Amino acid sequence: MGSIEECDVVVVGAGFGGLYSLYLLRQEGFDVRGLERGTGVGGTWYWNRYPGARCDVESLQYSYSFDPELQQEWEWTERYAGQPEILRYAEHVSDRFDLESLIAFKTNVEAADYDESTSTWTVSTNRDTYRARFLVAATGCLSTTNLPEFEGLANFEGDVYHTGRWPHKTVDFTGQRVAVVGTGSSAVQAIPVLAEQASELTVFQRTPNYSVPARNEPLDPVVQAETKESYDELRQAARVERSGIISIFPPNEDSAKQADNTEFNNRMDERWEHGGFGFYRAYADIGIDPTSNERIAEYVRGQITQVVDDPETARLLAPTNTIACKRPCLDTHYYETFNSQHVHLVDISEGGIEEITRTGLKAAGQDFEFDALVFATGFDAMTGALLNMNITGKDGCTLGDAWSAGPRTYLGLGVPEFPNLFTVTGPGSPSVLTNMIMAIEQHVEWIRDCLVAMRRQDLTTIEATATAADSWVDHVNSIADQTLYPTCNSWYLGANIPGKTRVFMPLIGYPPYAEKCKQVAENNYEGFRLG
Ligand code: NAP
């Protein structure tokens, strides 16, 4: 039985959100503790060590902006940083600002209970217990892995991996027969690298995904130096851009369906050649107009047909659903990989994985034998990590009960019935639909300002009102309903997890959101009850 530690704020998670929370709150003189289940910092980039893991936001923009010296001194080596480099960056930040001394590692939150009589949270872990006025959940949007309950999985005698929980050692697949289940962003990155090692690689695809080339390359030192010279302008421009990312292509205002063929093809070719998410900003109406969307989808299908030699494989790889209503993928030679003789694609859209056997698996009416199974089956996104903490608020109300019809937050920051709990990039905030680090900085700075304002006014509790949360959830949904996002079975909707309530969780539109948060604070935290 561990000890009970008293402090002002407990921050759960030592990824980018947790690290910045610890840094800012300590700076304001709060006694703050970090709890992290891993053995080191980095969050997403600590766990997702699968071959090929790489961020698909460009490295110069997927980084903290809060410290001018930090952003000047850190040297990125590639256009898109790989997982080892991002993890080194997180470790560097932690060392540079001496954050590790605030964090209890290998510490898993088992329960968090709010005590109304003292207005404090008791956070129970597998080690010590913590009692704090405030609880900040910086637990990440994609941190609870989803490993579906495949029949017979325990019987498999080979090695089993999940991309989101990759072992902390080198895994060498040389000479092995490897299966990959899933074709989302993680798989799209892992498959080309696994194919370099495996003797046979078989990909089990339930739904094909659209992927655009990343065109990763070593970062040009001149580009890096120039960016650093005008970093403030770049960051400022990103904050007023929906994606939080500045592309060399300005976002266009025109419609894809109205473009003439030559203009359309030239524009799409240019963006396809350049690579990256700027492809999806070629026309303003990709996300709202089905005809425009289909035209761009057809362009990508045309690229797949050109790249993939075998017509049947190309047909299976070509998605037919709305483009970009699931999170788009960026790749390095994904489609090309299927031209290798030892890489096979199995369509499991009809029957799924039927069974895992001692030596492999059954799917599409066939038996397959493997040495290793790699599950790239994604995450219980946005709510999984929060619900796993077994949080209980006022009157014994559990977060699971409060969210049985889907997550209900105000601004993705506060939850009615759960006073003094803050969710960093929680459901109802733009989070995964914008540059995550930018979104994290905005949230953590808002939380810092809130705690400082409360201290100044001698206040001890803050709680989102039910009315504010209800109208916020309506707002998030009404914006999503104006787009094509709800037309796919995406993890944005919780549709990837059997039984999860289907509701669109992130808010579309970062700049108006940040403005709204600012106004709420200026109006003495309108929509929150202060006590
Ligand atoms: P994902 O996008 O949810 O993809 C999971 C894949 O597994 C899908 O192809 C899914 O098929 C399949 N799958 C799930 N359950 C299955 C089952 N029971 N049987 C067969 N197939 C099943 O997960 P992810 O690839 O890990 O990516 C999640 C998110 O993480 C991304 O969307 C992105 O936001 C983030 N991410 C980012 C990066 C980056 O920055 N580069 C890299 C990786 C991940 P269905 O489509 O049919 O459900």
Range of the domain at 76: 4-144+380-527
* Domain membership flag for residue 228: no
Residue 384 and residue 509 in one domain: yes
How many angstroms does the Cα of residue 185 sit away from the middle of ligand 1?
6
Residue 419 and residue 367 in one domain: no
The pairs formed by 263-272 with CB atoms below 8 angstroms and a separation of 24 or more are 264/295, 264/299, 265/299, 268/296, 268/299, 272/212, 272/213, 272/299, 272/303
Residue 154 and residue 25 in one domain: no
Q: CB–CB of 21/7 below 8 Å?
A: no
Q: How many CB atoms are closer than 10 A to CB 101? A: 9
- Give dist(CA 332, CA 276) in Å, integer: 11
* Residue among 50, 163, 347, 496 to mutate when testing ligand 1 (max atoms within 8 A of CB): 496
Stretches where the chain sits below pLDDT 50 are none
Residue 20 and residue 157 in one domain: no
The ligand 1 atom at the shortest distance from the C-alpha of residue 183 is 9
Residue 360 and residue 459 in one domain: no
Quick: pLDDT tens for 387-415: 999 999 999 999 999 999 999 999 999 99
Phi, psi (degrees; rounded to nearest 5) at 349: -65, -25
Residue 251: predicted pLDDT:
81
How many angstroms does the Cα of residue 163 sit away from the middle of ligand 1?
10
Do the strands 372-375 and 177-181 form a parallel or antiparallel pair, or are they unpaired? parallel
Residue 354 and residue 501 in one domain: no
- Looking at residue 158, which CATH number applies to its domain? 3.50.50.60
Number of domains in the chain: 2
Residue 55 and residue 131 in one domain: yes
Residues within a 6 A CB radius of ligand 1: 54-56, 142, 148, 163, 181-187, 189, 206-207, 327, 352-353, 376-379, 432, 491, 496
Instruction: Look over the chain and give the mean of its residue pLDDT values, rounded to a whole number.
Output: 97
Residue 1: predicted pLDDT:
55
- Please tell me whether the overall predicted TM-score, pTM, comes out greater than 0.95 for this model: yes
